[in-house]
Structure 1
């Protein structure tokens, strides 16, 4: 976000506190009688224990930093508090690290907050509208071996050449950075990109294996600064969490995702992260990916890839989440190969707006226990309806539900009849051939 100058030329000032009057010193009257003294009891301290020790010391360090203290002073104060109040005390090195970490922040709050009136409004930008967002995260979910890497290579190839795939009007031309924990660069990544028609001279890759811990994030920041790409692909995202991190814990995953999202914003690049789907059924399509739901919450666009329910040769990519635009129609493609050792190429098919993510993730009819004759019954019903004339698809959907025909079965019945699909404004219309 860009800031514009305040028209008034100054910011509202907080009222200054009035100094308290100094207390008068009052001398105690001397007495000839000796006053008995009592032994002073030590202060009762409720110590900081367990994991609370780090949190409490960090809070105290933040308070001291806000008041303008430097690292040395903060460290000295924390060491004293650590020995007096922590049970057991933390290692001195751990206390020093807390002081050093907090001291990196600017003293005061002005750098952390701003006036909303100074913010210039900005429209969301897209690498490939509306599927992949610039300056934000997009996630691609799918099962292993179903074509996620082939799809991402096809998108990357389009970015390097500036030639858009048929489901978008334009695609930003630029370089691409691949961070892949699974694909060998010489045997898989480069051959696959060349098959897709990419300009591989515009593709950077991760040569040294590393996770996105503090060191890894620094390396990625330096790479983005030196060679800012139009697209970054991180595949799979869970493999890049720091060692020991639990991808199913929301607190750990959210902090990890926030750091990556900040890089996307800072360098205004599109970051496409890839996940595998979990086996267990989830209550929402965007929760079907492996890992915490914090991943789905942080991305601004979510794509789900699965086999086409009507043709196992085809793959479909549904737009399951879209925060900045209306979801795009479901992308359909076919992977074609010239031999068992040849990397597949992508053949794009027409998009299918009526194919939903629910249909892609639904189990096969046989697993749902549906009788084989159900589609035949639905086909006969659909034919009887369309014999009376063309019908809008939305109306057909309502009638089908009343007849107990599911939408996936209705669509397959339409395929069996070879229905002709046309448009009446924005509405889809079905008719017999």
Structure 2
């Protein structure tokens, strides 16, 4: 490999006393690079996208540094991603833009002290190097970097990425290759001048001088924030600004004058909100404003004027799907794990949580990701006797596991979480936590009584905003769902309730008993809108120990084919088991039982025969048209029919496992 003349200088520049320089892939530190091993590292990994970060604590080793782990800085790094705004620009033209930056900054007493300009494959990286300084405030450093970007953009008339301003921001490693396109592109130093920046110690102080940064006290009036605000006040001020704009103009002008004016305001913020986040707030307030106007208007519903909300596809930035577990669990999307009671749905989800929180590789992954936090909504498992023991036994980092047990109202009272009513509380938890995944087990337990799980429109009032939260916070939302008792449907239609569940999920994973080996469970993909279907995976739980058993050749439909014993089961026995399951927790309205039985493929005639066989007791509540019949099990019901043995953690005390324990 022919080293660039200035690569040796660059790797020496990034070294600092009592600190290390980490290098590797975006989420995986592979080496502590030094001038001695730099060239060898580049040669050994020439097919990978490589990044670096200097100033990290010595004791971190190969653990990815965060903002709090950066002790010192001796450089500033600014990313001008030119191809993001001009997709047709050539590599040669991007490199020529370095000449323009050099000329525009030549006579500037501060901005002209740059040392390297690096071609990144899609744009240019501008580096300033000076004496090492100690980081006292990561927040102030970020504010100072944004102020510096203001000055750079004014001087060069080019846009720089404000997401690259935190102290632990990684950058492409000069001498490596950008491998994200079909053509590998050398990340090379295209400009060098022997200058040292003399102002690094002043960067943190710049945040106090920034005209766009105000105190952490939110503006008392929308007009106080119209000139732009800093972090911590942007969302709240955006609500005021949007309300003022929309409240004063005709709805027909909202998309042109309203949205256009809002984007101009956002550009003044330090840093600006993402367009996706701003658009979500804009649409939410627009909907409320329309409702307010329609409520006071004398016009009839047929007279209300609506204006189109258009998105130009050329303005939408193409994004690759980000995976928590490659091909199986996407980030920012809704995933459903479904199966019969007792086949091990929760075991699979706990195995996933254990791997993510501990930073361990999952099956099919070549390397482990950085550890992430998990948020749990669990209704059927005890936290002390099931959830914690299982996760600890699987090697989870339980300090990264959080449980949303309830919500608290303004009067201080706690209430059970209902997604139909309390999505704002869930969003507050997400905004504070930075979670990699949410587990909702089972989903139906958190829908509340208002949601009809058999009606698409009713379900979408919860699933649609839940999907938006997943996308907004880039979190994988994993929902557990049970199957219907009917064995006549294809796998993709076997989930309980409306098909809206399956439609909302980008990936659906089915869990069941291996068709030829009852000691094994299998997880197989029955829907995947994002990539090719992955292979089916087997796993086993023996004496409370979970173990992956590798790929198996089993399809989703094969996993649900009835066994020989089940084929012999009569429709009447199936109906009897249905009634026992539905009524085990108490009385239920007859009308609901008939409707659910129909969904499960049980006829009304067979249900009545099962009712008679089980000596079901029925009572009438109310009178006249308001009255209804309820069914309940007799005081001494018949013994339950045999079912597939659930996966039970034998390591748990026997008294914690009731006879009707359904597993997961």
Relative to structure 1, the CA distance from residue 282 to residue 260 in structure 2 (aligned partners, 3 Å threshold; closer, same or farther) is: farther
> Displacement of 1:207 after TM fit?
2.1
CA distance in 1, matches of 2:289, 2:527: 48
CA distance in 1, matches of 2:310, 2:428: 26
- 1:365 maps to what in 2? 564
1:298 and 2:504 equivalent?
yes
Taking the TM superposition and a 5 Å limit, the aligned residue runs for 1:132-281 are 132-170=329-367, 172=369, 173-208=371-406, 209-214=416-421, 216-281=422-487
Give per-residue Cα distances to partners, 1:210-232, cap 9 Å, x unaligned. 11124x11011111111021111
Q: For the Cα contact (< 8 Å) 2:329–2:476, is it kept in 1?
A: yes
Give per-residue Cα distances to partners, 1:252-300, cap 9 Å, x unaligned. 1123211111111111111111100110135331211112111101111
Q: Secondary structure at the match of 2:435?
A: coil
Q: For the Cα contact (< 8 Å) 2:540–2:546, is it kept in 1?
A: yes
1:288 and 2:288 equivalent?
no
CA distance in 2, matches of 1:117, 1:170: 36
Relative to structure 1, the CA distance from residue 317 to residue 360 in structure 2 (aligned partners, 3 Å threshold; closer, same or farther) is: same
CA distance in 2, matches of 1:241, 1:116: 34
1:355 and 2:554 equivalent?
yes
Of 333, 344, 354, the match for 2:539: 333
CA distance in 2, matches of 1:249, 1:328: 31
Taking the TM superposition and a 5 Å limit, the aligned residue runs for 1:305-324 are 305-324=511-530
Taking the TM superposition and a 5 Å limit, the aligned residue runs for 1:41-80 are 65-66=251-252, 75=292, 78-79=295-296
Q: Secondary structure at the match of 1:349?
A: strand
Q: For the Cα contact (< 8 Å) 1:144–1:276, is it kept in 2?
A: yes
- 1:345 maps to what in 2? 545
Q: Secondary structure at the match of 1:306?
A: strand
Q: For the Cα contact (< 8 Å) 1:332–1:349, is it kept in 2?
A: yes
CA distance in 2, matches of 1:213, 1:207: 16
1:81 and 2:281 equivalent?
no
Give per-residue Cα distances to partners, 1:319-366, cap 9 Å, x unaligned. 1111111111111011111xxxxxx221111211x2111111000134
CA distance in 1, matches of 2:294, 2:559: 59
Alignment size in residue pairs: 286
> Displacement of 1:118 after TM fit?
1.6
> Displacement of 1:203 after TM fit?
0.6
Taking the TM superposition and a 5 Å limit, the aligned residue runs for 1:15-54 are none
Relative to structure 1, the CA distance from residue 206 to residue 175 in structure 2 (aligned partners, 3 Å threshold; closer, same or farther) is: same
CA distance in 2, matches of 1:78, 1:330: 54
Q: What residue ranges of structure 2 are gaps of 5+ in the alignment? A: 1-82, 88-246, 259-285, 407-415, 569-664
CA distance in 1, matches of 2:357, 2:331: 16
Q: Secondary structure at the match of 1:179?
A: strand
> Displacement of 1:77 after TM fit?
6.5
Q: What residue ranges of structure 1 are gaps of 5+ in the alignment? A: 8-60, 87-98, 100-106, 338-343, 370-433
CA distance in 1, matches of 2:561, 2:290: 61
Q: For the Cα contact (< 8 Å) 1:231–1:272, is it kept in 2?
A: yes
Give per-residue Cα distances to partners, 1:131-176, cap 9 Å, x unaligned. 1111111110011121111111111000011112334334543111
Q: Secondary structure at the match of 2:511?
A: strand
CA distance in 2, matches of 1:117, 1:65: 25
Q: Secondary structure at the match of 1:315?
A: strand
CA distance in 2, matches of 1:362, 1:282: 9
Larger displacement relative to structure 2 (162-171 or 296-305): 162-171
CA distance in 2, matches of 1:350, 1:282: 29
> Displacement of 1:80 after TM fit?
6.1
Relative to structure 1, the CA distance from residue 65 to residue 207 in structure 2 (aligned partners, 3 Å threshold; closer, same or farther) is: same
> Displacement of 1:196 after TM fit?
1.1
Q: For the Cα contact (< 8 Å) 2:420–2:461, is it kept in 1?
A: no
Q: Secondary structure at the match of 2:405?
A: coil
Relative to structure 1, the CA distance from residue 201 to residue 4 in structure 2 (aligned partners, 3 Å threshold; closer, same or farther) is: same
CA distance in 2, matches of 1:6, 1:123: 19
> Displacement of 1:78 after TM fit?
3.5
CA distance in 1, matches of 2:291, 2:538: 59
Q: Secondary structure at the match of 1:312?
A: strand
RMSD: 3.4
Q: Secondary structure at the match of 1:149?
A: helix
